[in-house]
Structure 1
Amino acid sequence: MMPSDRKKHPRLSRLITSLVTLIKTKFAMMEAGSLVSCREDISSLFPEDTLGAKDKELSSQFPSVRKVRGDGNCFYRAFCFAHMESILYNTRALQRFKDKVIQSCKVFASAGFDESSFKHHLNTVVNVVEQCQQAEEQEDTLLRLFNEETTSDSVVQYLRLLTSAHLQNSADFFCNFVEAPNLHAYCRQEVEVMAMECDHVDILALSEALDICIHIVSMEGDEQQLAHHIIPEGAEPSLHLLYQTSHYNILYPRPQH
């Protein structure tokens, strides 16, 4: 696109600039070896030249962001990190989450999963929680563990398998929302496989499986305003995620006075 064309098509120009910024961010994170970044000012997401209406709205509501590597696993990684971060200093909530993970053995059993397929990954999540419970610097410990690729990917694999198990245990409901030949095939091909991007149905299933409410702020679409999705509707979210150009990052809302 020539400079003169950008003046004629400002919306397209902003989209292209946003894509370039996102690609640069992804490469920078890959070069740095970072799966989950430190918190950054929200302006780090925006194009350098002009701010669109959505950019301004986002920055007014969320002053900071934590970037997650765009490797196809970004939703699951962002989901677990953001939830754990939100309950790090709530001893009872952290224990409840740990208990929920341990009890998910029953979810896998009901869906017909062999224990060998999920036990290691389940234990990884439990171990991450326990290390955070015992650490003096809990935030640093959580960030370190989520940037250890083997540990972090094992957490993601657990979440993918749990999502699959919940979908199959509630097949009568979820089968209406997938395009694959059948729900089982969808789970095996689209949900359980690492680096496969998630769909809305997967987000809903994981939210239900762990009883965690999610707030997704979407930059997609031609509308001039952000789209807000609460999953499940009517609940109080414990985490806030930004969805932009098929990628998820973690948002931090402005404190309420």
Structure 2
Amino acid sequence: MDSPKENDINYADLTDENIINYENLIKEDEEKKPLVSEYDVIENYKVNYIDSEIFSKKINQLKNDCKGYRSVRKDGNCFYRSFSYKYFELINKNKNSKWSQEMKKIAKDSINVLTSVNFEKETIEDFYDFFMDAFDPQKFREISFVDEYTSNGIVFYLRLICSAELKINHEAYEMFLEEPLDSFISRQVEPLGRDVDNVQIMAIVNALKVCINIAYLDSTNNNVNWIKFGEEYQKDANSPVINLLFTPGHYDMLYHNDENV
């Protein structure tokens, strides 16, 4: 199938499918952008289809809840990169809290979880080290999401965590799949560059015991829709929540009004 051409897209009828086709057109330009952008105020958030009245309205609605954002490269790893950046950022900002200590313990034990489902320790140790190094604030700022090889190593390790959770607790996820679990994992979970669906999001949430709150901006005429995953892991009002933004085919990070930047 030929790649979509820009003049094939009907901007007068802006559907989620058209938006995704347009996103595919600009992937080459994305490779020139940083893996993670600098923080910016929400008023400056732009999407490639900003001239759509629906999306402009929804971005304005976001201002009621969020003060800023970071964008990530659109390379098929955007959920894992957005999630992991916010995950480490929140842990490092709250490094002395009980929550952060619990998160670090789960992360430290993750290599044992992976070896329990037959990942070879010698094969995954480097990726585990990249992941654990990001708990160091200096390495997090200067290396983890600046160096592409290191950042992709963190993304890959998260994919393995997702894979292990799906294998260990397969009964909770198989009902949502349209193909055998092993096939789904080998095609959609472990390879870099594969987008996520709700199954992978829930697996990450359950494996790491975190709460994710996602604002969905789509082409419907509805208001911004927030969906919280893993609310049971938000033990109290002070427990950090990872806020993300979804536009068709892509995830970025959001900073809620009550978050310290």
TM > 0.5 fold call: yes
Question: Over aligned residues, Cα RMSD in angstroms?
Answer: 3.0
Structure number with higher helix proportion: 1
**In the alignment, is residue 211 of structure 1 matched against residue 230 of structure 2?**
no
The aligned residue for residue 178 of structure 1 is 177
The offset of 1:124, in angstroms, is 1.2
Q: Per-residue displacement from partner, 1:199-253 (whole Å, max 9, x unpaired)?
A: 1100000111011110011012513211111012455352100000210000011
Higher mean C-alpha deviation, range 106-115 or range 206-215 = 106-115
Gap change, CA 1:211 and 1:147, over 3 Å in 2: same
Are 1:74 and 2:78 matched, yes or no?
Answer: yes
1:110 CA displacement: 2.6
> Which one-letter code corresponds to 1:145 in the other structure?
S
Are 1:103 and 2:109 an aligned pair? Answer: yes
Give the corresponding residue for 1:36: 36
CA apart distance, 1:101: 1.5
**TM norm structure 1:** 0.81
TM-score normalised by L of structure 2 = 0.80
| Structure 2 stretches lacking a partner, 5+ long | 1-5, 235-239
Which stretches in structure 1 are left out of the alignment for 5+ residues?
A: none
- SS state at 1:251 partner: strand
Seen in structure 2, the aligned counterparts of structure 1 residues 64 and 200 have a Cα distance that, compared at 3 Å, is same
What letter corresponds to residue 97 of structure 1 in structure 2?
M
Deviations 1:93-139 (A, max 9, x none): 44433322220123113322222332221111112213x2xx4xx8x
1:242-253 matched pairs, under 5 angstroms? 242-253=245-256
- How far apart in 2 are the matches of 1:97 and 1:193? 25
Q: Does 1:65 align with 2:63?
A: no
Query: Structure 2 counterpart of 1:31, which letter?
Result: K
Equivalents in 2 of 1:187, 1:44: separation in Å? 33
The answer to whether 1:238 aligns with 2:223 is: no
- Number of residues paired by the alignment? 241
Q: Which amino acid aligns with 2:251?
A: Y
Quick one: distance in 2 between partners of 1:29 and 1:183? 32
Q: Kindly, what percent of the aligned residue pairs are identical?
A: 25
